[in-house]
Structure 1
Amino acid sequence: MTTVATPARYATVRGWVAASARSIAPHFPIETFIARNPVAGYETLDHEEAMRRIAHDHGVLLTPSEERFRALHTDGRIPLADLVAALHQLVPEARSPHPIVADEFVTTATEVLLQDLLVSPPRAATSTALPTPASGLSPRVHARVDDLTSRWLTALFGDAAWSTPTRGEGMWDAWRRLAALDPTLPRRVRAGIRSTPAEPAAAIDVALEHWGLEGDGAEEFIRAHILAQPGWSALVRHTAAESRSVDLVSLVAIRATLERLLLPAGATLPVRAPSTGRDEEARLLAVATALRADLTVPDVRAALGRILSLTDAYTRLSIWQEAYERRTARALAPASAPVLRTLEETPRPLAQAIFCIDTRSESFRRHLEAAGPVETLGFAGFFAVPISFRPADGAPGVASCPVLLTPRVAVSESSVERDALGRWRRHRTAIAERGRAAHALGESTLAPYAFAETAGWFFGAASVTRTLAPRLWSSVRTGMRRAKPTTRVDADVVFSLDERVLYAETALRMMGLVDGFAPIVLVCGHGASVTNNPFASGLQCGACGGHEGEPNARAAATIFNDPATRDALAERGITIPDDTLFVAAQMDTVTDEVTLLEPWALPASHEMRVLELTRHLETARQANAADRLAGLPGADRDGDAVRETLRRSSDWAEAFPEWGLMGNAAFIVGPRAITAGVDLGRRAFLHSYEAAADPDGTGLETILTAPLVVAQWINAQYAASTVAPDRFGAGPKPLHNVVGTTGVLSGFGGDLRIGLPWQSVGVGRHAHHEPVRLQVFVQAPLARINEIVDESEVVRNLVVNRWITLRAREHDTARWMRFGRYGWETDDLDTTPVTGMPVGDHETTTKENRS
């Protein structure tokens, strides 16, 4: 085969690369780690079909194995009733009650397919991704291509002094120039690199012509190279959106060129062995044996074969997954029961506290409500204020909003104490410069030896203190820092009045907070204080782009307190009383401490109320810390809970500072009344919503097209890191080797790790996270939900293709409806809560579900 090298041909090759790139999601650098479904490109497919494609492309299963599911069934975790219900949900033909008669053998479709689930040879979890030519011809060459590519990309994306070899060149041009000089490569290979085309698409085309590939074969070849090292490919895909010098076409060209030149001349593509029908025969025999059916009778064999043809190995996995999720959904579903209402006017609460929908807020909200007269609400942690934030220390601005949004306004932190701010900023700059210098010394080749001779004694003592007394070391460092001067954010200045009113009204209507305001409304962002954790941003606020929520809380409080904004809101039907004060706060999800961010701005009229609120916050902190520590590995459960959380936040050897969003399983949209007082085990994203306060449905549309999507990303990433940790996880923390600010390697080389560290989902060899798809419960008019599903392609893909399970009801006394294959249907899910619901190997108790 000979192809003509033309611009049109190069465009075709680039199109194949773009299509293949959908097999892996972009990887955000760890400094702004964002949860993403690593297989988001398959969401246009039905979940079952996606499992087939992912197994073919990536060599992994997207669910637990059949052996694991069967063990859970034997242990009672998956009851037979749930298995039958799941079977009927996914295989409509199995619902038929009519018996199947073949000769003297009588059975039903349900009975045959149940035995298929229980006894058929399980679908093996493949371990080989889509093969490249080298992986089939010479594993040694394949490993060599991987190693050379990894070394090159480590140098390209690293931050050591010697890791900037490109001189501003494009990725492909720099590689051609430098790889041709690499003495570790054979002379023949170096000569071949020098003669490769200057256009990377042309270099790929040379490889395609070499192997005689075209059409689907060419695209599969390209996809195999992209998926050979999915971590590096995901990083390149993300970076390519911001830089023209890095792109996947160049990455594939590098790999394809190395492979073509390193393999022996004359090598041809290996022939794949055709699949056989042995698996189906073994399946038929296993089911017939279980049913005591005689396969020598033609009618019996034909009848069983006809029923078994309704499903295959991936359908079985899909049925098992559905059955597995039903118990979780039962435990987390808000009950359908009348809510006791009274005509008596309820007392005005001391405060209302708005927390992020983050699952970690669920238990703190419960404990805070139990501590005193405080109502809580849930809202995405950027509080409807998408900003780019410039801190007072002069650091670069960060996008503090969901990655689905682009901030249009830059909010700055400033201070009237200009002299104090200048001294503080110079102090921070000096500390940062010393840190960069120490890091550069560590990356240098010879300097560390001289540095150790002169200052090693000091750093050795410091290391001993950090290891044996982490809290003492943290206190010393805190004492050495200069106090930050009083600052404010200028959200009331940079946003126009119309923008302030829009953001304020949107947030209040989405939450249903349009009347009954308390004297204090706490706007509480969140962050996580950890030490020596490359994935620290993964514990921060996902709604704030992997940053702390402090800037957004302060900006939102400033807007809500603005008199002009309040006057305009009153004209729109939202009257905020004069004595209502919005107070910005920050919750540390490691220590459970809630800090008021601008205490100097509190008026004297609210001092006593704020003091009472802080007491309730401290009570909730004590209770929540004890609650969380009960499930954290290595926790001192007999000591002071708060003291233990402080140790974990400052200990540089602590692999489990907190569990993050481990266990996340549900997204609940509705008034707080439907979940108040219920222990959901930190497994639910809770978004406040009152349909009556959102007459045109725009609030619900925002919830389902933004926070819901981000929650699904988080849910999918935790699940993928659990079921396929070697492919979609980041591996154990002790093995991490950081590559600049982009990611980590396991050891000194190999693929860039994507997903979550194993310590975020498991302990030892046992998974702690339950890999269930997101169970969504929405209390809102069904017609309104239908419009959103119809109009949003992203939401429609998630719902119709079964990447999430959507349930809804009109009001709190109605039964839940489930969105099925043919629209809404009455859900047969028993909403009686299950006590002692396991979360992996960890037991949490769901209390009696009362509305």
Structure 2
Amino acid sequence: MKTILSSLPRSGKWDLSAISDGQRIGLRSHVELASETLSFVYRMTTFIHHNPLHELEELPFFEAIRKAGALFGGRTAISSDEWRELYRSGRIDRKILSSVLLEEAASLGLCSAGEAGSCETVRVFGRRLSDFLEGHLLHEWDRPLPSDPIMTEGRPAFFRLRRDLSPEVRALHESHFEREGEEGYCARLWESCRHYASDRLPGAAWSDPATSYLPRPGPSLTLLEWVDLFCDGLWKKRLDRLMIKWLSAFLDEGVSTWNLPHRERGFYRVWRSMAEKDREILFWGLEAAHREISELPDNPEDTLMGALIAMEIPRAGLTDYLERHATALPGWTGYVKWRNSKSDDPWARTYPIDLVMLLAVRLFYEQAIVAHVCETQLGVPGTVPAIWEWIEGHRPEMLARSFAARYGTPMVWGARLGALADRFPPPGDPRWQKISRVHEEWLESLRAEGGSRSRAGRLYHIAQTLGLSPSEVEALDSRDWERLEAALDTLDSSKRHEIWQRALEEERDREALSLFVPWTQRTDESSGLPVEARPAAQMFFCIDVRSERLRRHIESLGGYATYGIAGFFGVPFRFQPYQKECSQVQAPVLLSPRHRVREIPRAYEIERADRHFRRHQKTRSLVHLFHELKDHVITPYVLVEALGWFYLLPFLGRTFFPAAFNKVREFVRGLVLPEIATALTVARVGESEAQAMIEAEQHVKIRKALLDVVGSHTRGVSPSTVEEVRQAALSDSRFSQGFSLRAREELLLTAPGEADLIKKLRTLYTINMRRTRVLLETIMTVGFGTEEQAYYVENSLRTIGLTRNFARLVLVCGHGSESFNNPFESALDCGACGGNRGISNARVFVEMANNPAVRDLLKKRGVEIPYDTHFLAGEHNTTTDRIDFYDLESVPLTHRRDLKRLWRDLEEAGLRSAEERQNELPSFDIPAGLKASANAVFRRSCDAAEVRPEWGLSKNSWFVVGNKDLLGTADFSGRAFLHSYDPARDPDGRLLEAIMTGPLVVGQWINAEHYFSLLDLERYGGGNKIYHNVAGAIGIMWGNESDLLPGLPSQTIKDGDRPYHEPVRLLVVVQAGRERIDRVVSNNPPLRRLLSNGWIRLVAADPGERAFFRMQAPGIWSPVDMTTLSQPERTL
């Protein structure tokens, strides 16, 4: 067996000086390949909806789910009970379910596909084969497991009728009851099934490969997992907890009071220096490993290589072995993978960590644990060859252990083993001879009678479900059994889940397509409004499903036209809010913007901005002081007595009167820190303007430095003194002349103090000439040139098909959410804006569109915006359904009447939308009326105890690309992403390609996030908010310590125990010709992969034929019969 560097000469265990750089690079390549199946886990402050199985999209959908289940331990389908509940509640129609079932049966070869309903004509036991297949789907007639009591005892554990029987079938059984009652009747039924299986059916030997499966450590089972499985130590859980402790301490972004020291050296080196002082592994018995930490190499590649050498990991399968470790904590490793990919992230640059460092630490501990356990419990070295040899020498014991680990201990073992059946002895213990003998005898009995018992158990459930009496069972034709058994075995659990999935999706598809029936019946291309009619106002909304309700209600008021576009409005940039140190990306995660935009006070707000800054600094100082006192070792005892009463009113207000308290809090905040009017640096600035911006920023830094270095008496220092200090710091010469008399009087500094201040300003606060030059170059790239502005505006307008007939007011409406005490708040904001609020993108777009120079360029390009058209920025609060307008000072006086009407109608539309949403939210008391509903949703937005401020994007199911002609007045019930598009104005398909490779992909990520969060809340979702714990401001853990939860919490996708979101893959409806769609798909491999592998489904609304066609595969279409899309029959 060849191992990694097995021939490497070493003078000591961790002497790896002979490793070459090429071998280190090769190892890094293995780690990179091992992490390919890991999806990014994004920082919680800018939550990005993503597909947790994104890296498996090259596989067919259901195959990817099964592979993810093997890698991450996640569920591969929602439970059968949940599927049946959807069926019983009418969300899955019986006719559709039967149709999908028959199609699947034909594809599996269970019946002919050439004749319609052929499975319904095939007879088994005098009944239709389709009845048995449907019964198998609804009641699961699987073979019993080897550990099932029915396989080893004379009778089932309980003789009772199944609880899922229909009233008619239960009554049929009860009609055959004799004096023995239900239990005696079921006993007779079982005996009939058992005798039928043993006497009437041909003999069949029982076999189950799982009973002879012998797990060995290797690519699919790490040494740590093997030790954990067979040596009863919970070692993997211990190591996971230890890794979480180190990762959470290193990755913390400002939450912890005491930070891990020297993090700038990188995760591996910090761990190596600190782990020597950590005594936790000493309590595990790993004294030798604790001593070895000081001997570890200086770089992580060598440590990882040394651990692999120590365990003699085979070279073949090394990548798979590392993948098992990388996916052990997919949340933490996914976050590390994402952060390491963000070279421009300040936390990533300052505190480096990558997967090689993480795996070096993890595998160091693994080799230590494996060596300790193997030497103390097995008496062999902790290497792969030694463990394989030990397994062969203890084969009977390992087979018994493996079976018990897979199926649990059969009940029949307990009678013979006593206490041993509940707690196995240590490996190699002599008592294993008795356990192995019982296991082998039990297997022999299964081989002798297991075949007939397995058939009898299945027949027993079939008879119950179909209402067969004992006499009817005995009269069954044995020749039909083999055909039925083969059919039931073919329709295994995974196939049945696929059928349920397809049936639910077919139901939702019919529901969506039925809304477009009016479009197929019209003969004109009109949108319903004459071309000459100028709308009262036009509104751009994000494609977000929550905007659909508001768009529908505002359009119902008449005279308005709305458009859907990705919420960044086609303008990607980095945005630095006012008085914030870091910038944020206002673009989809697929883009890397190069433009920067800053928020600055308007010119007439300079004085108020200065006062605002000073008050802001005072407030921050008080808050900082409070936290310092609170986090001190001694002062909290005094602090509670002194200030505890101060928290009484906020506590009572937030608990009992959250809405009123929020209004009071905002009023007080406005008094202390009044809002100031701001502008955005959209236009590219000149050099003089850039220098003025740098001067203002450096003034702010100097004021902070004076407070930190000189003292609080400098809080009111004059601007002229601040400027004098700035000039001194920027001077290239050595500071020796001193400040002016006036500055000295204000600062109260001695000559040495002045020199020290200048030195700190130049070094700690980076106020020096070199940094100023860099800032000047950076600021000169802030904003957009006129040509660039015209490009972005034109591209967005053409994308949504608006190039003429502009209204007097055009509202560009971003969106954001508002909630209190909600770590997932950014998940409710705009995904197209990188998980941030979309108002800054709206303001930038409006500034561009109102620019006369931009309009002149647009006119030359065929987009003429009238002189009286004014663009206005607004923000849709998706929690309260209120619209706030921004930059109203720029609205001309001539448009105030239009603005007033628009504001009034948007308020009405918001009230209607709020009422519609409130009726869907869980509530003890559903309010009646528009105002009451609005008050209810507002209370949710500011209630600290509210775990569900809104449903967010739950129930998203459809993505529609088309114009108003297609959409009409359809009510999508807040379930559809709506992207405006006019196929008549996109002859080459360029605009459609941009939509299908950008917004559509984001929509698919959102849909997949919800799907997989519902599928497995712990592995792919966000667990339950009740147990959430914010970890280092980067993510959420479940309780005190866990893997980072990558997805959505149960309160977003479930209503109590019932799913609220429906697990359907995204249906995409595109209003365009099939040839145009085919060109787009063929030119974009990622999009083609999504369609080929079934991650999304696509229907074309062909405007030429006014008909719908479903894409079966790229380039292959089938027509959709729209005449059958009436409301389907419901089966309750």
Task: With the length of structure 1 as denominator, give the TM-score of the two structures.
Answer: 0.90
CA distance in 2, matches of 1:648, 1:727: 28
**Counterpart in the other structure of 2:274:** 178
1:399 aligns with 2:585: yes
1:683-715 CA-to-partner distances (Å, cap 9, x unmatched) read 111111111122221211111111111111111
| Counterpart in the other structure of 1:490 | 681
**Corresponding residue number in structure 1 for 2:1022:** 730
Q: Please, which of 43, 53, 75 is the counterpart of residue 57 of structure 2?
A: 43
Greater shift in the superposed pair: 467-476 or 310-319? 310-319
The match for 1:762 is: 1054
Aligned CA distance change for structure 1 residues 837 and 241 (closer, same or farther; 3 Å): farther
Secondary structure of residue in 2 paired with 1:659? coil
CA deviation after TM superposition for structure 1 residue 75, in Å = 4.5
Question: What letter is aligned with 2:278?
Answer: D
- Deviation, 1:740, is 2.1
CA distance in 1, matches of 2:250, 2:1129: 50
1:155–1:163 Cα contact (<8 Å) kept: yes
Q: Using the TM superposition, give the Cα deviation of residue 528 of structure 1 relative to its aligned residue in structure 2, in angstroms.
A: 1.0
Query: Is the CA contact (8 Å cut-off) linking 1:665 and 1:775 kept in structure 2?
Result: yes
**Which residue in the other structure is 1:508 paired with?**
797
Secondary structure at 1:185 match in 2 = helix
Alignment-mate amino acid for residue 73 of structure 2: G
* Aligned partner of 1:203 among 303, 327, 331: 303
Structure 1: distance between partners of 2:638 and 2:462: 74
- Aligned pairs (5 A) from 1:342-353: 347-353=533-539
Report Cα offsets for 1:16-65 as digits up to 9, x if no partner. 32223233311111111111111111111001211221221122234312
* 2:1107 counterpart SS class: coil
Structure 1 gaps of 5+ residues are 842-851
Match of 1:820 in 2: 1112
Query: Structure 1 residues 313, 550: closer, same or farther in 2, change over 3 A?
Result: same
Name the residue aligned to 1:320.
Answer: 500
Q: How far off is 1:74 after superposition?
A: 4.5
Q: Pick from 26, 29, 33: which aligns with 1:15?
A: 29
Does residue 136 (structure 1) correspond to residue 232 (structure 2)? The answer is no
Letter of the 2:65 counterpart: M
Distance 2:961 2:77 in 1: 26
Question: How far is the alpha carbon of 1:76 from its aligned partner?
Answer: 3.9
Structure 2: runs of 5+ lacking an equivalent: 9-18, 146-219, 343-347, 392-397, 408-446, 685-782
Rounded Cα–Cα distance in structure 1 between residues aligned with 2:1051 and 2:1130: 21
- Give the Cα–Cα distance (whole angstroms) in 2 for the partners of residues 33 and 356 of structure 1: 17
SS at match of 1:654: coil
User: What value does the CA root-mean-square deviation take over the aligned residues?
Assistant: 3.5
State how 1:519-538 maps to structure 2 within 5 Å: 519-538=808-827
Candidates 913, 932, 957, aligned match of 1:665: 957
Does the CA-based 8 Å contact 1:527-1:548 persist in structure 2? yes
1:338 aligns with 2:521: yes
1:59 aligns with 2:250: no
Q: Return closer, same or farther for 1:461/1:309 CA change in 2, 3 Å cut-off.
A: closer
- Give 1:136's aligned amino acid: L
Q: What is the one-letter code of the residue matched to 1:611?
A: K
The question of whether the paired residues in 1 share the 8 Å contact of 2:141 and 2:488 is answered with: no
What do residues 262-318 of structure 1 show as CA deviations (whole Å, max 9, x unaligned)? 341335478685999999996998599689999999986775677667664323322
2:993 aligned with 1:713: no
Change (3 A) 1:624 1:344: closer
1:99-125 CA distance string (max 9 Å, x none): 699999899987775555345456999
Matches of 1:124 and 1:760, distance apart in 2: 37
CA-to-partner distance for each residue in 1:770-793, whole Å, 9 max, x for gaps?
A: 111111111112112112211222
Aligned to 1:258: 365
User: Structure 1 counterpart of 2:273, which letter?
Assistant: R
Q: Which moved more, 1:292-301 or 1:636-645?
A: 292-301
Aligned to 1:476: 664
| Deviation readout 1:1-30 (Å, 9 max, x if unpaired) | 443164444444333322232333111111
CA distance in 1 between counterparts of 2:37 and 2:457 reads 37
Note the alpha carbon deviations across 1:428-486, whole angstroms, 9 max, x for none.
Answer: 44444544554555555544333323222212332222222222332232223233222
Cα distance in 1 between the residues matched to 2:455 and 2:621: 66
Question: Where in structure 2 are the equivalents of 1:679-690 lying within 5 Å?
Answer: 679-690=971-982
Of 903, 906, 914, 1:614 maps to 903
For the 8 Å contact 1:381–1:526, the answer to whether it is kept is yes
Which amino acid is 1:3 matched to? Answer: I
Q: Closer, same or farther in 2 for the Cα pair 1:204/1:89, shift >3 Å? A: farther
Q: 113, 119, 123: which is aligned to 1:96?
A: 113
The answer as to whether partners of 1:356 and 1:379 remain within 8 angstroms in 2 is yes
Aligned residues of 2:568 and 2:832 also touching (Cα < 8 A):
yes
Equivalent of residue 329 in structure 2, options 219, 229, 235: 229
SS in 2 for 1:228: coil
**1:846 matched residue in structure 2:** none
For residue 605 of structure 1, what is the aligned residue in structure 2? 894
1:154 corresponding residue in structure 2: 248
> Secondary structure at 1:479's aligned position in 2?
helix
Task: Give the alignment's TM-score, normalised by structure 2.
Answer: 0.69
Q: How many residues align?
A: 837
Separation in structure 2 between the aligned mates of residue 432 and residue 547 of structure 1, nearest angstrom: 24
Does 225-234 or 8-17 show the bigger shift? 8-17
> Are 2:747 and 1:654 equivalent residues in the alignment?
no
Contact 1:394 1:425 (8 Å CA) reproduced: no
Q: Which residue of 1 aligns with 2:917?
A: 628
Counterpart secondary structure, 1:816:
strand
What SS is found at the alignment partner of 1:661?
coil
Q: Equivalents in 1 of 2:889, 2:47: separation in Å?
A: 33
340-349 or 282-291, which moves further after superposition? 282-291
**What CA distance in whole angstroms lies between the structure 2 residues aligned with 1:744 and 1:580?**
46
1:491 partner SS: coil
Q: In the alignment, which residue of structure 2 is the partner of 1:849? A: none
**Partner residue, 2:613:** 425
Counterpart for residue 848 of structure 1: none
- What's the % identity of the aligned pairs? 33
Question: CA offset at residue 257 of structure 1?
Answer: 1.9
Deviates more, 1:273-282 or 1:503-512: 273-282
More helix, by proportion: 2
Specify which of 937, 953, 966 is matched with residue 674 of structure 1. Answer: 966
Shift of 1:188: 2.2
Matching residue within 336, 341, 346 for 1:241: 341
Q: Which residue of 1 aligns with 2:1099?
A: 807
Select between 302-311 and 55-64 the one with higher mean Cα deviation.
Answer: 302-311
| Whole-Å separation in 2 of the counterparts to 1:819 and 1:67 | 31
Map of 2:840 onto structure 1: 551
C-alpha deviation, 1:143, in angstroms: 1.6
SS at match of 1:168: helix
Matched residue of 1:726: which SS? coil
Contact 2:966 2:1071 in 1 (8 A): no
Distance 1:461 1:319, change over 3 A: same
- In the TM superposition, what whole-angstrom CA distance separates every residue of 1:130-172 from its partner, at most 9, and x where no partner exists? 7733432444222211111111111112232322234412211
Q: CA offset at residue 518 of structure 1?
A: 1.3
Match of 2:314 among 214, 235, 238: 214
Shift in CA distance, 629/73, structure 1 to aligned 2, threshold 3 Å: closer
Q: Give, as a single letter, the amino acid of the residue that structure 2 aligns with 1:550.
A: I
